[in-house]
Structure 1
């Protein structure tokens, strides 16, 4: 009755089961962070694979969309064949109730048909809202539609109920191709054809549901982690200070009981006063240490969420740097912090030589690295750090100007002038202002106008570190990351191996 449509629908269903089980694993952030931080379980190659968790999640999602289209098309052909090739000989095997039944009626009056339509609609919403243009401008739409995955999995479990495809249960009593008693009345006919008579009518039953076998374990693992993260993030967070920096950037310093983090990690921030369900990722710019328990983030005020969040924290912006300590007269909004979670920038200390390239606010992952060096963290193998920071406006360097100067002074006093190699670039010369403060003279001497010449920069680093493995870490615009990735893959640096690491939130 069905022909090739049966094979395509069953094969695509198997691929969908596999991808629906794998797509949840990259979202188990706490589990991935634990694996990354356990040296016995995680080698450098393993951590680099974990850095691709977001890419793997997207690949599984694309595969689900592609094979869903294939699965739906195959079943639409099957429905037409059920109606056109209705078998009166085996009525229990038919999905159609009579020959020539309207295929649309079959789809709308069966459990597989109705649940299939709902699954397609949910998947379509999730796919459309995942585009970068929607995530960047309307993150709320992306967040709410993506959380429909819970409804998606519930309906997916129901999709197989009352199965459209069936198999025969009494193969021995009714072998395929056998002759019924009313088809032949002579034993000679049976002996001539070589076909036995059946002892009973064929019996059919729908296939045993297998989807739950695929998705139950990853789904339970993901739900268990979400419960753990909910309990962990419910601990109160105390805001220590909120500061407004130039170029529409805000710094937030917080304290949380038993909060521990490593340089390069990030957190998810939730502010019920802005949105009860939205969680936004921010890289830690300062981590707790033995001497201080506070941690901090820097965020650029772009979009509705950050704008409303800033209005709750600070009064209307004023010129210059404004520091608002926590006092009794001012009530800060309630916030919750989930994390920390691992990121590629954690591996900066795991190379002998590291090159950190930041574009604008992309400096935040490396700020915690610089703070760790300033605070005297030990136990890592890093021997030389190259730091390149590209900004459009000169005032952007004020975000961490004091940190850069303090680190330079510390290394100078420790007789390590070559340990930290700093290069600053201002891409727009028409927005230059004068860093007149005397304490910033160290930065002024390392400031260049224009964009870096990446190939010359990589060649210089390659010659200075011949025969060594250099970790390249990038957080910034896609143009910079693509160029660095291409240069790292090219074998123009004799004896020097560049390993590219791209910062991305999973």
Structure 2
């Protein structure tokens, strides 16, 4: 009746079950952070695999789309065959109600058809909004459509209830091809497979058909329950109040936000999800921590760049425009900041900077934020780190961008010089746009001037120099910035430009 469409639809359904269960695991951020932080359980290779969680999530999503196309195409052919090859001999096996029924009517009047169309629509919206061009420009659309996965899984559970495909349950009593005959007058059935006059087996009873046992919930239930349990845990943890201590405005539309939260602990390189109900009650945006709590200093901070609608509205709430006219406010009145919630912290690739003897940190523009927390940890005197030499490369379009962390760079440089460790921290600053080299205007930043260069780094030469200076060692390369820089570094690390030195590439990714 169905032919090859039956095989393709069943096989693609199994592949969909697998990927729909795996796609949720990379989104269990707290679980991945726990595994990453358990050094006795997770080795450095294991943590590097965890850095690919987003890539794995995207791969599962693409696989779901591909197998959905196969599954839908096969079932469209099956619906046509159900109508055209209607079986008068076995009416219970048919999905169509009569021969020649309109296939569109079958789709719109059956549970598998209606739920299948809804699943395709939701999956299409999620896929289109996940494209980089839309996600970068219209993050709100991506956020809201991606959260339709809750509706997607609910409809998926309904989709398997319909039972479009059936199988025979009494194969022994009614083998395929047996000769059917009427029952005796006493109501007793003929003996099973009694030989017929022409030598073929007789049917012992009429065929019985049953829907295939739903297997989707067996695949999806465990990851779905795990994800729901984590979301409940994260919600309980994030409802603790957050106090905004200070807001600092930096050049190039960058804001620094310093906060305080009870029992908040974090490691350098981790990130948080920030929610501001005054801007949007449901949107959570990731920001890397640039300051972690340390001993008696319990405040933590982030740097955010105003590049979209959400950050623009959030900045307006943090720094309201000055009112016109003369208005005298009482001296005791304090600035009223918007209410915010913080979820996290969560692990990222930059946590492993301290787990190498030699590390190379490459930042592009605002991508310096994960490494700023690492540098501040070195300044605060974090102990128990394996790191013996740190190379730090920061590429910016404008000279003013270096003012974001100029004080931090100078303070760390002076600290290491006082401790007679000048080779511990190797700083290289690049201004990609500019006709001539300009110096940082303030005198206290003059220590950074010899490390300023015009143009872009020559990555192959840079890695070769680092390789010659650290022969026989394993160098951790950490990148947070434009895709062009990360692709070049990834290719050079895999090609091993200097014999005897191993470069391990780690890309900073979070969503």
TM range (shorter): over 0.9
Q: How many equivalent pairs are there?
A: 498
Partner SS, residue 366 of structure 2: helix
Task: Please name the residue that 1:427 is paired with.
Answer: 432
Partner SS, residue 472 of structure 2: coil
Task: Please name the residue that 2:10 is paired with.
Answer: 10
Counterpart Cα distance in 2 of 1:327 and 1:149: 48
Task: Please name the residue that 2:201 is paired with.
Answer: 196
Deviation per CA, 1:129-175, whole angstroms, max 9, x where unpaired? 00111111111110110000000000000101130100111222212
Counterpart Cα distance in 2 of 1:390 and 1:306: 23
Counterpart Cα distance in 1 of 2:99 and 2:24: 42
Q: Which runs of 5+ in 2 are unaligned?
A: 184-189, 323-330
Describe the shift of the 1:491–1:433 C-alpha distance in structure 2 as closer, same or farther (beyond 3 A). closer
Structure 2 residue 304 is the aligned partner of structure 1 residue 299: yes
Task: Please name the residue that 1:20 is paired with.
Answer: 20
Task: Please name the residue that 2:487 is paired with.
Answer: 482
Q: What stretches of structure 1 move > 3 A for 4+ residues in a row?
A: 189-194, 430-434
- 1:191 CA displacement: 5.8
Describe the shift of the 1:463–1:329 C-alpha distance in structure 2 as closer, same or farther (beyond 3 A). same
Decide whether the 8 Å contact of 1:474 with 1:481 is kept in 2: yes
Counterpart Cα distance in 1 of 2:356 and 2:76: 55
- 1:176 CA displacement: 1.8
- 1:450 CA displacement: 0.9
Describe the shift of the 1:193–1:504 C-alpha distance in structure 2 as closer, same or farther (beyond 3 A). farther
- 1:438 CA displacement: 1.5
Task: Please name the residue that 1:454 is paired with.
Answer: 459
Task: Please name the residue that 1:121 is paired with.
Answer: 121
Counterpart Cα distance in 2 of 1:443 and 1:96: 77
- 1:260 CA displacement: 0.3
Task: Please name the residue that 1:106 is paired with.
Answer: 106
Deviation per CA, 1:216-246, whole angstroms, max 9, x where unpaired? 0000000000000000000000001000000
| Superposition map of 1:338-349 within 5 A | 338-349=343-354
Describe the shift of the 1:461–1:195 C-alpha distance in structure 2 as closer, same or farther (beyond 3 A). same
Counterpart Cα distance in 2 of 1:425 and 1:312: 34
Decide whether the 8 Å contact of 2:248 with 2:257 is kept in 1: yes
- 1:431 CA displacement: 8.1
Counterpart Cα distance in 2 of 1:192 and 1:390: 90
Describe the shift of the 1:76–1:230 C-alpha distance in structure 2 as closer, same or farther (beyond 3 A). same
Partner SS, residue 82 of structure 2: helix
- 1:195 CA displacement: 2.8
- 1:430 CA displacement: 3.9
Partner SS, residue 252 of structure 1: strand
Describe the shift of the 1:459–1:316 C-alpha distance in structure 2 as closer, same or farther (beyond 3 A). farther
- RMSD (Å) for aligned C-alpha atoms: 2.0
Task: Please name the residue that 2:74 is paired with.
Answer: 74
Structure 2 residue 378 is the aligned partner of structure 1 residue 383: no
Partner SS, residue 358 of structure 1: strand
Counterpart Cα distance in 2 of 1:212 and 1:298: 43
Partner SS, residue 89 of structure 2: coil
Counterpart Cα distance in 2 of 1:242 and 1:193: 94
Task: Please name the residue that 1:247 is paired with.
Answer: 252
Q: Pick from 406, 416, 439: which aligns with 1:401? A: 406
Deviation per CA, 1:345-386, whole angstroms, max 9, x where unpaired? 000000000000000000000000000000000101000000
- 1:291 CA displacement: 2.5
Q: Pick from 287, 297, 310: which aligns with 1:282? A: 287
Decide whether the 8 Å contact of 1:411 with 1:417 is kept in 2: yes
- 1:432 CA displacement: 5.9
Decide whether the 8 Å contact of 1:174 with 1:200 is kept in 2: yes
Partner SS, residue 403 of structure 1: helix
With structure 1 as the length reference, what TM-score do the two structures score?
0.96
Task: Please name the residue that 1:162 is paired with.
Answer: 162
Counterpart Cα distance in 2 of 1:327 and 1:482: 53
| Superposition map of 1:355-370 within 5 A | 355-370=360-375
Task: Please name the residue that 2:317 is paired with.
Answer: 312
Task: Please name the residue that 1:322 is paired with.
Answer: none
Structure 2 residue 429 is the aligned partner of structure 1 residue 416: no
Describe the shift of the 1:328–1:217 C-alpha distance in structure 2 as closer, same or farther (beyond 3 A). farther
Task: Please name the residue that 2:263 is paired with.
Answer: 258
- 1:192 CA displacement: 6.6
- 1:329 CA displacement: 2.5
- 1:418 CA displacement: 0.3
Q: Which runs of 5+ in 1 are unaligned?
A: 318-325
- Compare 440-449 and 363-372 and name the one that shifted more: 440-449
Task: Please name the residue that 2:273 is paired with.
Answer: 268
Counterpart Cα distance in 2 of 1:98 and 1:84: 9
- 1:437 CA displacement: 1.6
Counterpart Cα distance in 2 of 1:450 and 1:120: 48
Task: Please name the residue that 1:42 is paired with.
Answer: 42
Task: Please name the residue that 1:336 is paired with.
Answer: 341
- 1:439 CA displacement: 1.1
- 1:182 CA displacement: 5.4
Task: Please name the residue that 2:54 is paired with.
Answer: 54
Counterpart Cα distance in 2 of 1:245 and 1:96: 67
Decide whether the 8 Å contact of 1:428 with 1:449 is kept in 2: yes
Decide whether the 8 Å contact of 2:436 with 2:454 is kept in 1: no
Partner SS, residue 297 of structure 1: strand
